[in-house]
Chain A
C-alpha cells in the first residue's frame, strides 16, 4: 500500500519543537487553505467535547495557489451513491486491478477507462501527495457570461452622484468585455433601463412602494415569452427572437458607449424633497426588481447585483425609516427598546430577497455611502447570504469607496478576475466525524447525508452549502463533531479525513471543481493529551470561536454571548492550564494556548460583540467582514496590530496597550477597518516645528515617512479599503487608537503604574491585566 502520510513526519517528532507544528499549520494553510483548531483529533465524542474548542476549521476554498495549474479533466468519483468522494491521495490504489478504495466509505471502485495506463510510476495528479488540493476544469454546458447588474440610488447629493457616475463609468472599462451589464436606478421610482435602444433611451419604471412578485416583475418587464400559438405547418423558430432579456442585459462591448452616456445623463431623482424630509428611496423594490430580473433571465448563472445607495430606504417594502427627518433612524437603543418600527418587516423583506438570490446563484453587493446609517442592518443578509460585498463609506466621493470599488474588479496573476460565482461546497468526512455546520457567506443546500451531525453549529443540517460569490480570501468556518464512541477506539495510526469539494464558476466562466482532502491523526485524549494540546492552533481556534460568538450575537442578546464566551474560555483554561487549585498565581498556559485569552479579551471589546458606540449598521458591517475574511485578517480584526516607529531602530510590533503610546514614537495601528497613524506628542511637536523640512533632520523626515509607506502597502491590498486616519497625540481622531489599546493605564490607576510610560486612557473598561487576573481566579477555582 502506498499510503501517503501528509504531515506524518511532523507528527512523529511532535515533541521536538513547537516550531514544527507552526510550520505544519502554515504549510497546510498555504497548500490547502485550511486551518484546523485541532491538528490532532481527540478520538472520541466525549473527549472532543471536553476540549471546549470544537474541532473545526477555517477553509478558504479559493485560496490563491500560484503553483496549482488546474487539470483539464473531470474528477473521478466514488461510485457509492451516498459518498461520491473524489479520488484523492489518501485513497488506496490497486494499480494492477485498476481499483481504488474510497478512503471515506471504503467502497472499491474501478478506475474509468481513461485511467487504463495508470501505474505506480504513472500516477494521475490527483493521487500525488502534493495535490491534496487540486482543481479540475469541467467542460460541461455552455459557458455563460458573467453578469453585472448595477442598482443605483439617485437620491444623492449632486457631488456624490457625480462621483458615483464616474466610478461606474470607470468600472465599465474593468469588466470583461463579454460580461453582460444592466442598469437599474431608483429613487422614488425604480427604473430598469433598456440598454439596446438607439436614439431614445428607454426604461421600465416601477412604483417604489409596491412589492411585486417575481412573476409580476417578469411580466411587467416583458420577460415572459408570450404564449405563441403553435401553428401547424410552421415550426417554431426560436432564433427569430433574440433572448428577451437582452433588452436589459447587454454585453459590455456592445453598449459600452450607450451605457456610458446613459450613466452620464443620469440625473438626481427629480421628485421634490420638501424641507424636513428625507428623499423617498425605494431600495427595497429596486433590489426586488433586480433579483426578479435575474431570476427570470439567468438563473444559476454567475451574476452580481451591485447596489449603490446613499441613504436608508424610506418607502415601500424594505423601508427602514420614514421620510420625516425628525424621526431618526433606529439605533441600538431603539432596537433594545423594541422601538424600531420597520426593522422586522424590512429585515424579512431583504431576507426573502437574499434567499431567492442565493437560490438563483446570484450575489448582491451593497455599497452604502452616507454619513448616517443606510439600513445595512436590515439589508445585511443580502450580502451575507449571497457572498456579496458590503462596503460602507461616508460618501461616494471618497477614495475609500472609489478604490474599494475598483478593487472589486482586481485581477489575479493570471489576469483573471478575483471572483467566482455560484459555488457549492460539499464536505465529506470519514466515519468518525460528522459535520455540525458552517459559518460564512453561504446558505445551506439542505443536503442531508450520513456525515451530517444533528448538533448544529452555525448553518448546519447539511453537508453542502451554496456560496454565490467567492473571492480568494473568502473563508468559511466549518465545524465538526467527533462521533466515535469512547468504547470504539481507533486503531493506532488511524487518521480522520475530510474532503472539501468546491464547484464554482470561474471568472473566465469555466466551471471548475476544487478538491481538498486532508487528514489528521487521531489521538486518545487521555493518554496523548499533550499531543493534542501541542497541535492546538490557537489563532484558528480564536477565530473559530469568535465566529461562533458573532454568529450567536446576531440572534442573541450581547451579554449572553459574552457570558458564553467567558465560560468557554474559563473551561478551556481549566482544561489546559497548569495550576494548583485555588491558586491563581500558579496558573500557567502552554505556548500553544498562551495567546488565546488575549484574543478573547480583545474579542470581547471588539465591535463584533460590543454595540456600544456603534450604530446597528456599523455592527452589521463589521460582522459581515468578520464572517468571511481569512484567518490573518480575522485576527487583525480581533486584535489590531500595532507597530511602533522610532529613531531607535526598525519598526517593531508592540503591545496593543496604552503603554505603547509614547511621546517619541509614531504608531501605526491596523484594525482591518482602519489604518491609524498616530504621532506621539514629541513627534507631533517636531513635525509642527517643521524639522522634517530641514535637511539636517532628514532622518526625521524618513521617520515620518516610514509609517506612511507601510500604511500605503496595507491600503493597496486590503478589501475593502480601510479608513485611513492620520492623527497625533491629542487629536480628535486619536480616539480610534485609544479605543483599541488595552487600557492598562487609566485615570483610575494612573499613578499605580510606572510614571512615564504610555498615556492613560479615560475608560472604565477593564484592562487585560485585570481580565487575566479574574480569569486565573476563576480557572483555578474549585467552585466552578
Chain B
C-alpha cells in the first residue's frame, strides 16, 4: 500500500517537494552510530527506493564529522561507514535505523514509528501510510508492530510489552542493571560507561537512588517489573527509544548489548555512548540495580540532605548527593576532571556528597538527542510524536502535522480527562511560532488560493480545511475534526473519494495533506472589507541631547541609508512594497516630508504633544526608491540639525501616537522603530516619573516594579493594535527609564524591545546595528489575529506572549515577526478520547509585507492517554520550562516574587511526585526518581528560579528585570533553553580543522580549567572566559597580545587575526550570532578579573551570588519537596 501512495508523495504539488528531500539530508549527519548497523540498513535501503535520493551529498557532508568518532569505535562498521551514508541518503529509513541504533533516549523513536504508526491509529491510517517513508519491509514490520502497540499501548501497558516482546529491551537492560547493581560499582562503571547505551534504552526515567545501593539489588527484582509496565506504554511514543532500539535489533537485545556495547564504545564512546546512558541514570551513580529502573531512569540520589529525618544517610549526604560519581564514567573521557567510574568506589557507604556528575546533565541529554535524532528527518505524519530537542539540528518533513519549528507542546500525549491532568500537574501548553523561519532546505508553507469563495471552513466552529477533516458521502460533505459538525463541500471544491475514502486530489492540495500551509484571504477577511495597503515602516529617532552626543543619531541615520534597501519583500518582488517614514523627536516631534518631487525634505514640527496628530499625509510615507535622494538628504541633515541641541527632555507616548496616527491616516498597518534614550519627563501624555526603588525588592510591593506606572500606555497599545501598528523599541538608557512602562506598547503590539544600557558608540555600535538590520529585514506579518482551535474536550484558556487580547479567544497582534512566540495553555472542558486524539489548529490571519492578506494554518495532532505514564513519556522538558518561565514571569506582575518561586517549585514537585507515585516502580522513599523526559526539569527549573527576574542579583537593575521579563515572554523554546542554561564551550578543545563544535560542558565553575578558554552564550551575551594559565600561544593567536595580562577586558570583538585558531573561534561566534534573533554582546572575561563576577552569574549549576541554589542543592530540595508530597 505504501508504495503506491508514496509515489504520490513524491510530487504532490508539482514542485519536487524539496522539503521532503531536503529533510533527509540534514538529518543524516548526526548519526554516528549508523555505521554499526549499516549492514542492517543496507537491507532496508533496498526496499526504500521509493524515496528520492536527494541529498546524499549533504548527508555525507554532515555525517563525516559527527560520525567520525563513533565509527571507529564500532570497528567493523567503520569501513562501511562512508558508503553506507550514501545509502542513507536515500531514505528516511536509514535515519530511522540510525536512531534506533544509537538508541534513542528520547522519543527519538520517531522513525521506527513512522512506518508503524500508520497502521495504528484508526483514523490516521490512511494518511500515515502515505507519508510514511517507505519503510523498508523489514522495518515496516517491526514498525507496524510498534504502531499497533501504540494504539493499544495507550490503553494498556502490557501490550507494549507484547509488541516489543522480542525486543524487550527492557528486560534485558533491566537485567543488566540488576546485575550491575549487584555487582556494585564496578558493574556500574561498565554499564554506564559504554552501557550508557543500554541504559538509555531501558530506562526512560533516571532514578537517583539514595545511598542505598546495596539494598537495591533486592529491589531490583520488583522494580523491574513495575517499571516495565509503565514503560510499555511509554515505548510507544518516545520511550520507544528504549523499546524500539532493541526491538529493531533483535541481536542487541537485553543483556548482551551492554557488554558488547561497552567493548566497542570504550574507545570513542564518550560521545555516543555516554549520552545515551546519561539520560537515564543521570544521577544514577549508585547503580542501584533497582534504579536501573528499566522503567525510568531514576536519579538515584541520596536523599536530599534536607531530610534529616529520612534516613540516616541523608544527614550525611546532605551536602551532596551521595552517589558519588558512579556515573562519571560516562563522561569520563570527556572530562579530564572526572576520573573514572570504576575507580569510584561508591562504596556501599553512601558518599557524603552528591556527585555533580551523577545528576542528570543537560549536556548529556542534548548530546544524546543530537546524536540519536539529528540525522533523520522528523516526519510529522504520525500523531503525537515527540520531536527532537530544540538543540538538535534536524530536518522536518511535513506530512500532515505542523513542524515543531512552528509548534511545540509540553506534552504530546494529553490526559483524556481533566482529573488526570490535574493529578499530574503537567501544564498542557503549546509554544507556537506561527511565522517561524525554516531552514533553507525546508519548504515554506504552500499558498492556497481558493479564489473568491475563500478558504473552506467548518460551518460551526469555523475551523479551516485541514488534513484531519473527514470527507463523507462520496465527498459531498466533510465532517469537522474539531467539532464534528458536517458541512457541505462547495461545488467548486468537490472531489471524488478513492476507495480508502480519501479525496483523489489529496496530494494536490496542501490543505489536505500538510500540517502547515497558507490561504490567500479574501476581502471579507480584511479590515473594513478593503484589501489592505502595503505596510509601512516609520523610523522615529530621539534627537535629544543624549542621543546626539553619544553619536547615536548620526549612526542611525548613516545606517538607515543603506538599510532601507533591505526591507522585507514578498517572494520574488523586485523591491519591497513597504513604505517608509521618518520622525525625530525630543520634547516635540518632527515629521519629515520626503516626497520624491521635493528638492529638499521638509520638516514639520508638532509641538502639540498633548493631542498628537499627523501633520502630513502625502510625502510622509514614501517608496524608498522613488524618494531616495530626498531621504538621503534628510538622513544627512538630521544629525547636523540637532548637533547643537540642548534639549534633554523627551516625550514618549506622543511618539507612538504619532506613528499610529500616521498609519491610520495612510490606512495601512506597519511598524514603528523607535530609538529612545531617556525617561520621558517632558510635559505630555504618558509622562513618567522615576520610581525606581530597590528597596522594594523582596517586599510585597516588588510587583509594582514590573507594572506600568500608568494605564495610559495600555490604552495606547490597544489603539495601536486596532490600527495594526507594531512598535519596536530600541532603548539607549544611561539611567532608569522605566522599561516596565515604556515596554507596554511594544509588548502588546507584538513588537520587540532592544536595550543598550550606557550605549557607547565604539563598543555597542556593532551590536546595535546588527540588531537593527535583523529587525528591519526580518519577516513580519501585520495586523494579525491568531486563533487556536482544539478538539472538543480541551480549550485554549490562557495565552502568553507579546500581544493583545480583546476577548478570550483571539490573539491580536499588530505585528508578528518570525521570532515571536505565543504560548497557549490548554485546559480540559470535557473528556478526550484516545482514539481520536486531540487536534490543534492555529490559524493566523495577517497581512504580509507586500500587503497581501493571508491565513496561515498550522495543524497538530496529539495523542491522548488514560495512563499517566504515557503522559510522562511524551513530555518535552524544554517546552515545559518555556511555559513555566513565562507563567512565572507573568506571575510577578501580581504576586510577590517569593510566592511565584514557591508556586513554581511546588508545581514541579507535584509533577514529579505524581510520577513517582503513579508511574515509577516502587522504591525507597529516599530515592529520587525522575521521568526520563523530565530528568532535566530540576536543573532547568533551578535556572528559572535563579534568573534575574525571580532572584535578582545586586547588579541587576529594575529595568533589566523588566526587560528580561518581557523578553522571555515571547521567546521560543530554543531561546529559553539557552537563556536559562547557557551553552558553555571549551575553546581550547576546538578543532580548527573541523566544523564540529567541541562538546559543551556543564555550567559550573569547577568544570573550568585555568588553562583553558571557554565560550559561553545565553542568547543575549557571549562571554569568552580566559583562564590565567592559558598558553601564551593561544592568547597570542586569539587576542594578538603577548600575555594574559595584556588582554583588554574592554574588548567587544575579537581581533581579526590570520591564524586558524582565531578564525575558527570567530567563525563559531559568528555562527552563534547568526543563530540568535539578537546580536549578542561579546564580553571578554579574564579569570580573577572583576568582570568574572558577571560571568559566574551564568554558571547556573553553581550557587549564585544572589542566593540561588546550586544544582545539587536544589535537587535535594526538590527531592525533599517531593517526599513531603508523597508522604
A200–B603 Cα distance when bound, in Å, is 7
Residues in A190-226 with C-beta less than 8 Å from chain B: 191, 194, 197, 199-207, 210, 212, 216, 219-222
Q: Which residues of A are found within 8 Å of B617, using beta-carbon distances?
A: 270-272
Q: Is the CB of B637 within 8 A of A199?
A: yes
Measured CB to CB, the nearest residue on chain A to B606 is A205
Q: Is the CB of B603 within 8 A of A210?
A: no
Q: Does any Cβ of A come within 8 Å of B602's Cβ?
A: yes
Q: Does any Cβ of B come within 8 Å of A709's Cβ?
A: no
Q: Does any Cβ of B come within 8 Å of A151's Cβ?
A: no
Q: Which residues of B are found within 8 Å of A189, using beta-carbon distances?
A: 613, 615-616
Q: Does any Cβ of B come within 8 Å of A336's Cβ?
A: no
A440–B941 Cα distance when bound, in Å, is 87
Q: Which residues of B are found within 8 Å of A272, using beta-carbon distances?
A: 617
A189–B605 Cα distance when bound, in Å, is 12
Q: Does any Cβ of A come within 8 Å of B55's Cβ?
A: no
The residue that A204 contacts in the complex, of B606, B618, B633, with Cβ under 8 A, is B606
Residues in B566-607 with C-beta less than 8 Å from chain A: 588, 590-592, 598-607
Main secondary structure of the interface of A (DSSP, over half): mixed
Q: Does any Cβ of B come within 8 Å of A16's Cβ?
A: no
Measured CB to CB, the nearest residue on chain A to B592 is A200
A199–B605 Cα distance when bound, in Å, is 16
Q: Which residues of B are found within 8 Å of A271, using beta-carbon distances?
A: 617
Q: Is the CB of B604 within 8 A of A221?
A: no
Q: Is the CB of A270 within 8 A of B616?
A: yes
The residue that A210 contacts in the complex, of B611, B619, B641, with Cβ under 8 A, is B611
The residue that B598 contacts in the complex, of A202, A212, A222, A265, with Cβ under 8 A, is A265
Instruction: Give the top 8 A-B pairs by smallest Cβ distance, nearest first.
Output: A205-B615, A220-B607, A270-B618, A202-B603, A204-B605, A205-B604, A201-B602, A207-B613
Q: If the complex has contacts A200-B600, A270-B616, A270-B619, are A205 and B637 also in contact, measured as CB distance less than 8 A?
A: no
0 or 1 for each of A454-479: is its CB under 8 Å from B? (1 = yes)? 00000000000000000000000000
A215 to chain B, nearest CB (A): 13
A197–B642 Cα distance when bound, in Å, is 12
Q: Is the CB of B601 within 8 A of A200?
A: yes
Chain B: interface size category = 20 to 34
Measured CB to CB, the nearest residue on chain A to B636 is A199
Residues in B630-655 with C-beta less than 8 Å from chain A: 633-634, 637, 641
Q: Does any Cβ of A come within 8 Å of B608's Cβ?
A: yes
Q: Which residues of A are found within 8 Å of B608, using beta-carbon distances?
A: 206-207, 210, 212, 216, 220
Q: If the complex has contacts A199-B600, A210-B611, are A205 and B618 also in contact, measured as CB distance less than 8 A?
A: no
A154–B658 Cα distance when bound, in Å, is 23
The residue that B604 contacts in the complex, of A191, A197, A216, A220, with Cβ under 8 A, is A191
Measured CB to CB, the nearest residue on chain A to B588 is A220
Q: Which residues of A are found within 8 Å of B604, using beta-carbon distances?
A: 191, 202-205
Measured CB to CB, the nearest residue on chain B to A204 is B605
A625 to chain B, nearest CB (A): 37
Q: Is the CB of B591 within 8 A of A205?
A: yes
A-B contact pairs, 13 of them (CB 8 A): A197-B641, A200-B601, A200-B602, A200-B603, A203-B604, A204-B605, A205-B606, A206-B606, A210-B611, A219-B607, A220-B588, A221-B607, A272-B617
Query: Max chain B CB contacts within 10 Å: which of A205, A206, A207, A221?
Result: A205
A389–B392 Cα distance when bound, in Å, is 82
Measured CB to CB, the nearest residue on chain A to B638 is A200
Q: Which residues of B are found within 8 Å of A200, using beta-carbon distances?
A: 592, 600-603, 633-634, 637, 641
B900 to chain A, nearest CB (A): 45
Q: Which residues of B are found within 8 Å of A201, using beta-carbon distances?
A: 600, 602-603
Q: If the complex has contacts A220-B607, A221-B607, A270-B619, are A203 and B602 also in contact, measured as CB distance less than 8 A?
A: yes
Measured CB to CB, the nearest residue on chain A to B591 is A205
A232–B598 Cα distance when bound, in Å, is 48
0 or 1 for each of A696-711: is its CB under 8 Å from B? (1 = yes)? 0000000000000000
A221–B587 Cα distance when bound, in Å, is 12
Q: Which residues of B are found within 8 Å of A210, using beta-carbon distances?
A: 608, 611
A186 to chain B, nearest CB (A): 11
B659 to chain A, nearest CB (A): 15
Q: Which residues of A are found within 8 Å of B602, using beta-carbon distances?
A: 200-203, 265
Measured CB to CB, the nearest residue on chain A to B613 is A207
Q: Is the CB of B600 within 8 A of A205?
A: no
Q: Which residues of A are found within 8 Å of B590, using beta-carbon distances?
A: 202
Q: Which residues of B are found within 8 Å of A202, using beta-carbon distances?
A: 590, 602-605
Q: Which residues of B are found within 8 Å of A206, using beta-carbon distances?
A: 606, 608
A660 to chain B, nearest CB (A): 57
0 or 1 for each of B698-742: is its CB under 8 Å from A? (1 = yes)? 000000000000000000000000000000000000000000000
Q: Which residues of A are found within 8 Å of B637, using beta-carbon distances?
A: 199-200
B616 to chain A, nearest CB (A): 6
Residues in A154-207 with C-beta less than 8 Å from chain B: 189, 191, 194, 197, 199-207
B539 to chain A, nearest CB (A): 16
Q: Which residues of B are found within 8 Å of A265, using beta-carbon distances?
A: 598-599, 602
Residues in B70-129 with C-beta less than 8 Å from chain A: none
A216–B607 Cα distance when bound, in Å, is 10
Query: Max chain A CB contacts within 10 Å: which of B588, B599, B603, B633?
Result: B603
A100–B147 Cα distance when bound, in Å, is 129
0 or 1 for each of B1092-1124: is its CB under 8 Å from A? (1 = yes)? 000000000000000000000000000000000
B676 to chain A, nearest CB (A): 21
A63–B633 Cα distance when bound, in Å, is 54
A218 to chain B, nearest CB (A): 10
A234–B605 Cα distance when bound, in Å, is 33
Residues in B178-214 with C-beta less than 8 Å from chain A: none
B668 to chain A, nearest CB (A): 14
Q: Is the CB of A191 within 8 A of B588?
A: no
B382 to chain A, nearest CB (A): 56
A283 to chain B, nearest CB (A): 17
Q: Which residues of B are found within 8 Å of A194, using beta-carbon distances?
A: 605
B681 to chain A, nearest CB (A): 15
B733 to chain A, nearest CB (A): 24
A191–B619 Cα distance when bound, in Å, is 15
0 or 1 for each of B423-467: is its CB under 8 Å from A? (1 = yes)? 000000000000000000000000000000000000000000000
A711 to chain B, nearest CB (A): 44
0 or 1 for each of A259-272: is its CB under 8 Å from B? (1 = yes)? 00000010100111
Q: Which residues of A are found within 8 Å of B641, using beta-carbon distances?
A: 197, 200
With contacts A194-B605, A199-B600, A220-B607 known, what are 5 further pairs, Cβ within 8 A?
A202-B605, A203-B604, A206-B606, A212-B608, A270-B617
A221–B605 Cα distance when bound, in Å, is 9
A200–B633 Cα distance when bound, in Å, is 9
Q: Is the CB of B605 within 8 A of A205?
A: yes
A442–B735 Cα distance when bound, in Å, is 58
A59–B606 Cα distance when bound, in Å, is 47
A212–B609 Cα distance when bound, in Å, is 13
0 or 1 for each of A235-271: is its CB under 8 Å from B? (1 = yes)? 0000000000000000000000000000001010011
A272–B590 Cα distance when bound, in Å, is 22
B617 to chain A, nearest CB (A): 5
Residues in A700-749 with C-beta less than 8 Å from chain B: none
Q: Which residues of A are found within 8 Å of B618, using beta-carbon distances?
A: 267, 270
A282 to chain B, nearest CB (A): 12
A20–B1073 Cα distance when bound, in Å, is 106
A456 to chain B, nearest CB (A): 42
Residues in B805-843 with C-beta less than 8 Å from chain A: none
Q: Which residues of B are found within 8 Å of A204, using beta-carbon distances?
A: 604-607
Query: Max chain A CB contacts within 10 Å: which of B592, B601, B615, B618?
Result: B615
Q: If the complex has contacts A203-B602, A265-B598, are A222 and B615 also in contact, measured as CB distance less than 8 A?
A: no
Measured CB to CB, the nearest residue on chain A to B620 is A270
B598 to chain A, nearest CB (A): 7
A204 to chain B, nearest CB (A): 4
A275 to chain B, nearest CB (A): 17
The residue that A191 contacts in the complex, of B598, B607, B611, B615, with Cβ under 8 A, is B615
